[in-house]
Amino acid sequence: MATVGQGFKNFVGNFVGHLKNTLKSWLFGNLAKAGITLPETIDAKGIFHLAVQILGITYQNIRSLIVGKVGDGGEEAMGVAEKTVEIVQKVSTEGPQGLWEEAKDKLASMRDTVIGSIIGWVRNTIIVQAVTRLLGMFTPVGAIIEAGRGIYNTIMFFVQKANEIASLANAIFESITNIAQRRLGPAASYIESTLGKGLTLSIGFLAKYIGLGGIPEKIKEIIAKVKKPVDTAVGKVTGWIADKVKFIVAKIKGGVDKAKSLFSKDKEMEEWEKKNPEKAAEVARGLAEIDELEKAKVVDDEIALEDAESIAKTVQSKHSVFKKVEAVGEEDRLIYKYTVNPSAMKRTRFRLKRRTPSASYELYKQIALKLEVAVQWPENPPLRTKDDRSELRHLLYNAILSKYKGNLKDLDNDVLSSGVIPSELNKMRGNIFELWVQENVPGVSHEKRRPTFKVPAGDEIRKRFADGFRAEGNTLIEAKAIQEPRRPSSGEIKQMVDYRRIIEENIPWIYFDENGMKTELTFKEIHYVFNNERIAKAWADDITKNVQVRYQIFVGSDEWKA
């Protein structure tokens, strides 16, 4: 008994070292039970990932904060920013975690603060109290008292953890030889080593023994103490974003003293604007019109050079403030260059815009090479129309689908969750996964047309497109290929609510077949299909909360349950 007791004493004495080595599995395991989506690492970024969830920070909170800082016109400008400003797009798709790169310098010490607090609490609250009681069991009188006090909690723990607790028992039994040979030091060290390696089980056992519950809530409470630095960092980053959005407000309103070029700010331009306020406002309106005219021409963040040249000519002819506006392909990007009357303005201003189709074609070929898929690319393919460019993308898609037929794990590792597809082409990830689901998940229709619904939204009608449906039965399919684990964005939550309404209110999908016959289909259930289990786990609670009606969650063709 003394040897076993010494093993426990050694464990307490070296506890901090043991806990640092195994804290990730213990901490993450407990938080997962509390419904928290877990990060990949336990560095400062990982703690930030946990903190924004525990503090209830969402994209909608961040969006409201930015709109409030912008003031008048903020809501409209934010809508534009969500389509055009990179950092806003990142946060709208990734949630608060998208702020990390901008906020990390302000939160460098957060990890040490949180981990230090958790280690201190576990050591003082669980370990010291529990081991003090356990040591009492290794004296004749103490054994009787402590057996009575802890019998219920101990029995329940053994019932719940029968398989795992076996390793601790084995450590004691395997030490009998050492004990019999009076080699007590090695025996105690072996017991300590087993406790250290199985720290998740050890802490759970000790906490159960002293009747302590609510461990996940206590950890959440500790992490919540970083609220002030997190709020400060989020406040500073949202202020920086708000300044970007204010420029959009100025463009929309045709402001005079605020309508500076978003992409070419310099002293010469500022001086010219002060002297020529009316012309400065006209420049802002001309740049805004470029954005508006592009909407009908841009596909997957690319625009044909011919289309851009036409837009440049239109803007130049309509706005006399411009001496010249031209569209030029430089490297892999297309740039609008403009000079402003009078000619005393010496330097050409420019505006960085979209990829050219030729650059996209080269990018498709690079993706194929990295994935080692054989694509029969045509020689000198036409790139003028949307259909031309779509055909090239589908050549790549088909080659990828052929290589990863029936193999979601490798498709996810190599394509969907990897960086082989640039972030600006995220839509390609979704397209590839949708096609994979159609071809590899039993029962999913190969119908090219997508179920389309008109969902009433106040005075407007909102169109909602599902990714597919079961060929037999009344089940919709929503396929989600997401690169990194995150919770749904506000737009994705809105989509869930719309699906609930489509099912509850029997909103039909109305279409005409090839013979012109009108068909109406209603649906009774929706299946969410994800590219991996980590994404499914991150989304499960929000699906339960917002879809509410009949649903199932799948990873590929396999049903997933929390």
Q: Which amino acid is located at 282 in the chain?
A: E
pLDDT digits (tens, 9 = 90+) for 251-299: 555 443 333 443 344 556 667 667 777 777 788 788 878 877 877 777 6
pLDDT at 81: 78
Q: 484: which residues sit within 8 A by CB, 6+ positions away? A: 94, 97, 417
Q: 336: which residues sit within 8 A by CB, 6+ positions away? A: 290, 308, 312, 325, 326, 327, 328, 350, 351, 353
More confident residue, 166 or 383: 383
More confident residue, 549 or 31: 549
pLDDT at 9: 64
Q: Which amino acid is located at 111 in the chain?
A: R
pLDDT at 352: 43
Question: What is the mean predicted confidence (pLDDT) over 75-89?
Answer: 78
DSSP codes, 393-437? HHHHHHHHHHHTTT-HHHHIIIIISSSSS-GGGHHHHHHHHHHHH
pLDDT surpassing 80 at residue 318: yes
Instruction: Map residue 237 onto helix, strand or coil.
Output: helix
pLDDT surpassing 60 at residue 153: no
Minimum mean pLDDT range among 181-190, 279-288, 345-354 = 345-354
pLDDT surpassing 90 at residue 125: no
pLDDT at 346: 40
pLDDT surpassing 90 at residue 384: no
d(CA 542, CA 548): 10
Question: What is the mean predicted confidence (pLDDT) over 495-515?
Answer: 89
Alpha helices in 110-183 (DSSP H): 110-121, 128-136, 140-160, 162-174, 176-180
d(CA 296, CA 298): 6
pLDDT at 7: 60
Task: Tell me the percentage of the chain whose pLDDT exceeds 70.
Answer: 65
**With contact defined as beta carbons under 8 Å apart, do 25 and 200 qualify?**
yes
Report the candidate in 535, 534, 528, 523 with the shortest Cα–Cα distance to residue 554: 528
**With contact defined as beta carbons under 8 Å apart, do 138 and 4 qualify?**
yes
More confident residue, 214 or 467: 467
SS3 content of the chain, % helix, strand, coil (to 5): 60, 10, 25
pLDDT at 555: 92
Domain locations in the chain? 2-222, 254-355, 359-403, 452-560
pLDDT at 476: 94
pLDDT surpassing 80 at residue 126: no
pLDDT surpassing 80 at residue 513: no
Torsional class of 260: left (φ above 0), alpha (ψ -120 to 50), beta (otherwise): beta
**With contact defined as beta carbons under 8 Å apart, do 502 and 457 qualify?**
no
pLDDT at 154: 46
More confident residue, 470 or 227: 470
pLDDT digits (tens, 9 = 90+) for 328-341: 765 456 677 788 76
More confident residue, 306 or 200: 306
Q: Look over the chain and give the mean of its residue pLDDT values, rounded to a whole number.
A: 74
Using CA atoms, how far residue 518 sits from 27, 75, 114, 471, 513, in Å, is 56, 40, 61, 18, 7
pLDDT at 166: 53
Maximum mean pLDDT: which of 167-171, 216-220, 231-235, 275-279:
231-235
pLDDT digits (tens, 9 = 90+) for 413-428: 999 998 888 766 778 8
d(CA 32, CA 41): 14
Q: 400: which residues sit within 8 A by CB, 6+ positions away? A: 371, 373, 411, 415, 432
